[in-house]
A and B are shown apart, each in its own frame.
Chain A
Amino acid sequence: MLGLSRQQSTKCLLPQRQNMMSKGDTTVKTVTLSSSPGRGKKAVAYLKRYWTLYLLLLLPITYFVIFKYVPMQYIQIAFKKYSIVQNVWEMPWADNNGFEYFIKAFENKDFLNALRNTIMLNFLDLLCGFPAPIILALLLTELPFPRYKRVTQTIAYMPHFLSWIIIAGLAKQLFAPTTGLVNNFLGKLGVDPVPFLNEPIWWVVTYIALGIWQSVGWNTIIYLAAIAGINPELYEAASMDGAGRLRKMWHITLPGIRSTIVVLLILSLGRILGSEFDRPYALGNHMVNNVSNVIAIFVYKYGIQGLQFSLATAVGLFQSVVCVIFLFAANALAKRFGERGVW
């Protein structure tokens, strides 16, 4: 939910962390060498010195246990007949060896529709939204005026800070069939009003376009950092050899940020069955339900609104498991092609 979409750039950190660890090991040795020989005494000295660290960790670890691990026990109800009076451990198993609700899900038209929409919207997002920040980052690096570049960046980051509710509010006014700015403008050009948010195909186009609008600026940050790390001598040498702007982009910049692209691509592939909630929920309306209904919305409607907890949990579990499998598969694939991968 909050911040799920921010997961993106995390994993690239891991290799660096391991470096740190190996650096740390040497420090550990020097400390242990200098302290007294007795094992018990050493433990006491260690605790005396560092017990406060455990004290600090107590609260965060408690948080993770309660809000991330304890809920996992409720995953059982995907395989059980939910009953409000019983403890989750005592509920009776569902039919078909417990897989009743998974079978029901795959017989449910709404779920199959949600599954199709989730894959379709994520795939289109990947296809159109993934290259966009790379292109923009290339463009920004070519911009020769530093102050203008800064202003462009500041403004391009802005949509990232807007909630999907706000964006939906803007879009509904902007794209309204008769009163919206865009259709008014198209009308002046003699084009008939376009039902941007009220007709399934146009809705999908608008959904993807708004996604790019919202994220393209923000996602350049990571590519710009990668481009900044490319050795400038390469560009100088290429200029000497008479390479133009486009050739330098193609032969130096793009190869220079390839590993970044691969890592982000893996993460995107890992999310192909993940689903956002706010975005389709805020942009959707009853005219486009058959394309805007995604898995997260299905879970909300059937689970929290419809109280079919077992079915909704089964669907959620299916989604989580497939996401993990996809992530591992994408990572393995990248490694096979000689890239560093996510971990």
Chain B
Amino acid sequence: MIKSKKTKFGDVVVAFLCLVLILVCLLPMLNVLARSLSSSEALIKNKVWLWPNGFNLDAYKMVLKDSKYTWSLIWTAILTVIGTVLSLLMTTICAYPLTYDKLKGRRFFNTLIIFTMYFNAGTIPMYLLLKDLDMLNRPVVLIVPYCLSVFNMIIMRSFFYNIPQSLRESAELDGAGPIRVLVSIYLPMSTPVIATLALFYAVGRWNGFSDSLMFMKKREYYPIQHWLYLLINSMTRIETSTQEGFSPPGLSETLKSATIIFATVPILLVYPWLQKYFITGATLGAIKE
């Protein structure tokens, strides 16, 4: 086949447009990284573009010295780990029984669950419930109330459906009960969906903000996003104990940048490795035929 010149020109245009997209996605991150590594004088003189000017790590050191930020980073990591494990467990034990066609009442359970996706009670009823349960301002309020997502449950259920029924049936003939089948057949085959949902849940918890804003008043339990919100809007600042009462102009800007980097890096380090999984997860069952 002979390729015409026109096609090649089209390829170049497409490649160029993709390059523009890459730049639009990356430049904001590079800019904030450069700002966090620059001296405050360079920042105030508008000398920082995409490369640090007056390279130093002071901003990072200062953020790490402020115990409420270091604690919040650790605390959010703890929340993320506990929350993700709990969510995965709940999602699995919810999705797995619903894949049994023989399960009596399955239709009822499905309806009960799907209904909550279309209609939810709203913010204030949730607030009042948490108040009645005495969960407000306790760490548990950041873990339990949103631990099971119907959407994620459906993804897992669709994945389980795609595992051949014959495997389950032959195991059942050998006398394995449902839990045994789950543990020794379904879970080992479900790495892609577990990785995907772990990513979704972990990112959701790490990025969670509004639940803390609404249901948590104790500062020691604020997750990092809550602190970041306060910092960006200058409702709080990072304690720079080294210079009593004096902080050079521009310093608060480098500190904000450094905190943004702290809140972003964990996610950026993880998601590219899971790409091949979350693509299947995100499309799972969505388009058939």
Within 8 A of A (CB), among B130-150: 133, 144-150
B151 within 8 A of A: yes
B189 CB, min distance to chain A CBs, angstroms: 17
B259: chain A residues at CB < 8 Å are: 169
Q: Are A278 and B148 in contact (CB under 8 A)?
A: no
Q: Is the CB of A169 within 8 A of B228?
A: yes
A166 touches B124 (CB 8 A): no
For residue B78, CB closer than 8 A to chain A, the reply is: no
**B11 at the binding interface (Cβ < 8 Å):** yes
Contact A225 B123 (CB under 8 A): no
A299 proximal to B (CB < 8 A): yes
Q: Which of A3, A20, A142, A165 has the most CB of B within 10 A?
A: A165
CA distance A223 to B98 in the complex (A): 28
Assess whether A39 is interfacial by the CB under 8 Å rule. no
Q: Residue-by-residue, is B21-37 near A (CB-CB < 8 Å gives 1, otherwise 0)?
A: 11011111101100100
Q: Check B125–A173 contact: CB distance below 8 A.
A: no
Number of chain A residues close to chain B: CB under 8 A: 110
Q: Does A226 contact B (CB under 8 A)?
A: yes
Question: Once the chains bind, are B124 and A170 in contact (CB under 8 Å)?
Answer: no
A179 and B253 within 8 A (CB): yes
Q: How far is the CB of A209 from chain B (nearest CB, A)?
A: 10
Task: Indicate if B200 sits at the interface (CB-CB under 8 A).
Answer: yes
The stretch of A57-65, A111-119, A120-128 in contact with B is A57-65
Complex formed: what's the CA distance from A178 to B113 in Å? 51
Q: Assess whether A60 is in contact with B200, with CB atoms less than 8 Å apart.
A: no
Which residues from B are CB-within-8-Å of A166? 207, 225, 228, 260, 263-264
B122 and A1 within 8 A (CB): no
Select from chain B the residue with minimum beta-carbon distance to A296: B123
Identify A142's interface contact among B10, B129, B178, B285, CB under 8 A. Answer: B10
Asked if B125 contacts A75 (CB within 8 A), the reply is: yes
B: number of interface residues (CB 8 Å): 107
By a CB distance below 8 angstroms, the chain B residues around A153 are: 275
Closest to A221 in B: B282
Identify which of A102-110, A143-151, A198-206 touches chain B: A143-151
The CA-CA distance from A59 to B152 in the complex, in Å, is: 16
Determine whether the beta carbon of B93 is less than 8 Å from that of A59.
Answer: yes
Expressed in whole angstroms, the Cα–Cα distance for A320 and B14 within the complex equals 42
Given A57-B97, A70-B129, check contact A173 B285 (CB 8 Å).
Answer: no
Which residue of A140, A158, A164, A296 contacts B18 across the interface (Cβ within 8 Å)?
A: A140
Residue-wise, chain A 290-313 has the 8 Å CB interface mask toward B (1 for contact) of: 000000100110011000010011
A260 at the interface (CB under 8 A from B): yes
Instruction: A229 to B110: give the CA distance in the assembly, Å.
Output: 29
Please give, as numbers and ranges, the residues of chain A lying within 8 Å of B208 by CB-CB distance.
2, 163
Q: Is the interface of B mostly helix, strand, loop or mixed?
A: helix
The reply to whether B101 and A25 form a contact with Cβ atoms under 8 Å apart is: yes
CB closest residue in chain A, given B1:
A239
A267-306 interface with B by 8 A CB criterion: 277-278, 281-282, 285, 296, 299-300, 303-304
Query: Is A71 in contact with chain B by the CB < 8 A criterion?
Result: yes
Checking B103, B117, B145, B225 against A7 with a beta-carbon cut-off of 8 angstroms, the contacting residue is B117
In residues 204-261 of chain A, which contact B (Cβ within 8 Å)?
213, 217-218, 221-222, 225-226, 229, 244-245, 260
In this assembly, does B243 line the interface, its C-beta being within 8 Å of a C-beta of chain A?
Answer: no
Instruction: Kindly state whether residue B287 has any CB partner on chain A within 8 Å.
Output: yes
Confirm or deny: A329 has a beta carbon within 8 angstroms of a beta carbon on chain B: no
Cβ of A52 and Cβ of B177 under 8 Å apart?
A: yes
Q: How close is A170's CB to chain B, nearest CB, in angstroms?
A: 5
Closest to A174 in B: B28
Asked if B96 is at the interface (CB within 8 A of a chain A CB), the reply is: yes
Contact of B268 with A by CB under 8 A: yes
The 8 Å CB contact of B93, one of A60, A169, A229, is A60
Return chain B residues, CB-CB under 8 Å to A313: 122, 124-125
A336 CB within 8 Å of chain B: no
A169 & B211 in contact (Cβ 8 Å cutoff): no
CB proximity of A341 to chain B, nearest CB, Å = 14
List the interface of chain A (C-beta within 8 A of B).
1-3, 6-7, 9-10, 12-13, 15-17, 20-21, 23-25, 27-28, 31, 46, 49-50, 52-54, 56-57, 59-61, 63-64, 66-75, 77, 88, 136, 139-140, 142-145, 148-149, 151-159, 161-166, 168-174, 178-179, 181, 184, 213, 217-218, 221-222, 225-226, 229, 244-245, 260, 277-278, 281-282, 285, 296, 299-300, 303-304, 309, 312-313, 316-317, 319-320, 324, 327
17 extra A-B contacts, CB within 8 A, seeds A2-B149, A154-B275, A169-B228: A2-B208, A20-B161, A24-B102, A28-B102, A52-B178, A88-B128, A143-B14, A152-B22, A166-B264, A168-B232, A173-B31, A173-B32, A173-B256, A221-B279, A277-B210, A299-B122, A320-B120
Pairs across A and B, CB under 8 Å, 5 listed: A31-B102, A71-B126, A136-B21, A139-B14, A282-B209
